[in-house]
Amino acid sequence: MATRGSLDSDTAFIPEGAFTYLVADPKPTKWFGFLLLPEFTLLAFSSAVDPLRIANQLAQKPLYGWKVFSEDGSKVASSSGLSVDVNGAFEAAQIDLPVFVCSGNHWNKAASERTLAQLRRRDRFGAVHGGICTGAATLARAGLLNGKRFTLHWENQPSFSELYPDLDLTPNRYEIDGSLRTSGGGSAATELMLIEISKDYGSEFAAIVADMCLNNPDLSGRQSQRSSIATAVATRNPRLVDVVQDMYQNIEDPLTLAELASNAGVSRRQMERLFQKHLGASPAAIYRNIRLERARSLLVETDRSVMEIATATGFNSVSLFARHFKEKYGATPYGTRKQT
């Protein structure tokens, strides 16, 4: 049984397993690289690697190989506190090795300027890059996503869009645009790799890999990362769903409760009863929490002033915004920023 090779080795990892699947005409080993940035999301990274490992296990052949890098060659701590060993420093990655950038919540400062420069240099020489979880944001910081369609984790999309309003960010679970491959992380990273496996060895083999992952993926790529609001609210009251959707779509300039009710075709009293029955809170409280969640995301992940964030989330005064923010999160906006 082969084991993972060193940085300069072409030896792929082939684990043993109880179930195998014959691949009659295997291609040369296809290699992928993963650049782990500080506090990367461990789930997203492992969800991308494991389908490759399972493909090798099923075929008992080195269909895929992977090499893992950090900025300086040292092991990297994930957002869960667990550390991962690497093959070497990113600067040692070969130009012809496609590299996925893996990061987490601190996407706007995870990569050093040296790493951004290395990404630009690799791009000039024709290197292929991708992003897992929020990895695409590092590619954006390096200026590599102009004219490209891509995605990153939904939690970080609002603040990213504030900084890069002209880039073609989508809410989809994953995106493939030419040689660029990006995913929002988690099971979407698995789906992205299953697409690669399907192209290389057919949909039947990819389906077996998916079964081994206990994953029933949508391989169209068009599915949104977040469950629809209809699903979140059990789909049993479309009018309630309409109101909540309206709230998410009108954050900077909030609608009045009367406008929300009118848009959904119910009276204000009916709307209030629906919210209390299904969500256990008033429409005003739910709407305010939606806006505060957006505000906190902007506060943590952008350099916009507290006043700008208050305005962007529909609060007509900083003091009112700060009061509601502290009631919800137990700290002022200023205190929260100091902690990040």
Q: Where are the beta strands (DSSP E) in the chain?
A: 30-36, 64-70, 76-77, 83-84, 88-89, 99-103, 129-133, 149-150, 168-169, 174-177, 180-183
Angle CA(190)–CA(195)–CA(196) in degrees, nearest 5?
100
Please say whether the structural domain 229-339 has been given the CATH code 1.10.10.60: yes
Contacts of 161 (CB under 8 A, 6+ apart): 169
Domain parsing of the chain, residue ranges:
30-212, 229-339
Report the C-alpha gap between 276 and 283 in whole angstroms. Answer: 8
Amino acid in position 137 = A
Per DSSP, the three-state class of 51 is helix
Reported as half-sphere exposure (CB side, CA atoms, 13 A), residue 218 has a value of: 11
- The predicted model scores a pTM of 0.75
Residue 7: the pLDDT is: 44
Residue 190: the pLDDT is: 95
3-state DSSP helix/strand/coil % of the chain, to nearest 5: 45, 15, 40
Residue with tokens 């119910």: 266
Contact 125, 176 (CB under 8 A): no
Per DSSP, the three-state class of 285 is helix
In this structure, CATH architecture of domain 30-212? 3-Layer(aba) Sandwich (3.40)
Per-residue pLDDT of the chain (340 residues; tens, 9 = 90+): 344 444 445 678 899 888 888 998 999 999 999 999 999 999 999 999 999 999 999 999 999 999 999 999 999 999 999 999 999 999 999 999 999 999 998 898 999 999 999 999 999 999 999 999 999 999 999 999 999 999 999 889 988 998 999 999 998 899 999 999 999 988 999 999 999 999 999 988 998 998 898 876 556 555 666 543 543 554 467 888 889 889 989 999 999 999 999 999 999 999 999 888 877 789 999 899 889 988 988 887 788 999 999 999 999 999 999 999 999 888 889 887 755 5
Residue 130: the pLDDT is: 98
Amino acid in position 208 = I
Residue 320: the pLDDT is: 95
Contacts of 40 (CB under 8 A, 6+ apart): 76, 78, 79, 102, 103, 104, 110, 133
**Closest of 78, 82, 81, 85 to residue 110, by C-alpha:** 78
Report the C-alpha gap between 98 and 181 in whole angstroms. Answer: 10
Contacts of 239 (CB under 8 A, 6+ apart): 264, 265, 266, 270, 271, 274
